[in-house]
Structure 1
Amino acid sequence: MPPIDPQQRLAILSNPDAQDCTVYRPDDDDPDAEELDLGDAKILFSGAFQAPADWDELERADFFGDAEPDTFVTAYIECEAKPGSAGFFVADIGDYVATMPGLGEVVMFYVHDYSEDQQGRHYTLIRDDEPLD
């Protein structure tokens, strides 16, 4: 993983459009276990996921699986804890992200993929439309 760019991290954490979120990690050894609460973060949505134009039908089917393409979004996620501190984490594929866009509604996302560039780790998330119990 490339080093975290402090300026880019701060730009996401301080962006007025960034929402509060909490990141959870499932237990790979026990699928029935409660997810580990990694901590608080900020999520900055950057739009709907657009499959690259050069993907063929097989690549699209492999990427989207059984999920509806319109449930895929892209975002940056930055942990609120300082890098190097005990509470610091980096979201990874397989994690869950709980957001509260307003009015007490919780919207869950699944981290499906990510790419890294000079702006940081850009995630592809799948919105979970299942109602929470």
Structure 2
Amino acid sequence: MCLADDLDPQKRMASRLAILRHAEAQDCTLYRPDDEDESDDAEELDLGDARILFTGLFQAPAEWSEAERAEFFCDSDPELFEMAYIECEAKPASDDFFMPEVGDYVATMPGKGEVVMFYVHDYHEDDSGRHCVLIRDVESLA
């Protein structure tokens, strides 16, 4: 996978381990919509456990036009867009390993039994890891 994306496998693995072990990384679980189940009450597929390291609010590039900003944010409040690295806890190349994709859901538990949900809106991957743009779900699941 690293070679297909022109990534340095050693740097990428070092970044992966650093994110998994980071003191501020939180446990999370990722879910993916089941594309084969077209019913209204379709369950998402439980991809498994991961670690998420939040890096701040998403800042649209200064060179984006108003039209580009409107298209990216749609009707969502820009304050709901956060950035985070997400790394699967399973070993790469194992059957349980996954990479976050656009459209996945991320469930976090930042504390006190509160569940905060996010939607993977976009991502960029380089040797530092998969840096995701997440949209926070404003409905509480506590």
Judge same fold: TM > 0.5, yes or no. Answer: yes
**Structure 1 moving runs of 4+ over 4 Å:** none
Give SS of 2:71's match: helix
Which of the residues 13, 30, 55 maps onto 2:20? Answer: 13
State the Cα deviation string for residues 69-123 of structure 1 (Å, max 9, x = none).
0000000000000001111000100000000000010000000000112201110
* Equivalent position of 2:113 in the other structure: 104
* 2-structure distance, mates of 1:108, 1:8: 25
Return the offset for 1:28. Answer: 2.3
Equivalences for residues 18-97 of structure 1 within 5 A: 18-29=25-36, 30=38, 32-97=41-106
* 2-structure distance, mates of 1:56, 1:80: 38
Return the offset for 1:36. Answer: 0.3
* 1-structure distance, mates of 2:113, 2:80: 21
State the Cα deviation string for residues 33-84 of structure 1 (Å, max 9, x = none).
1000000000000000000000010000000001100000000000000001
Amino acid at match of 1:50: Q
* 1-structure distance, mates of 2:116, 2:137: 7
Return the offset for 1:132. Answer: 2.9
Unpaired segments ≥5 residues, structure 1: none
Q: Is the 8 A contact 2:55 2:85 kept in 1?
A: yes
CA RMSD of aligned residues (A): 1.4
Amino acid at match of 2:127: Q
* 1-structure distance, mates of 2:126, 2:93: 21
Residue correspondences, number: 133
* Equivalent position of 1:2 in the other structure: 2
Give SS of 1:43's match: strand
Amino acid at match of 2:59: Q
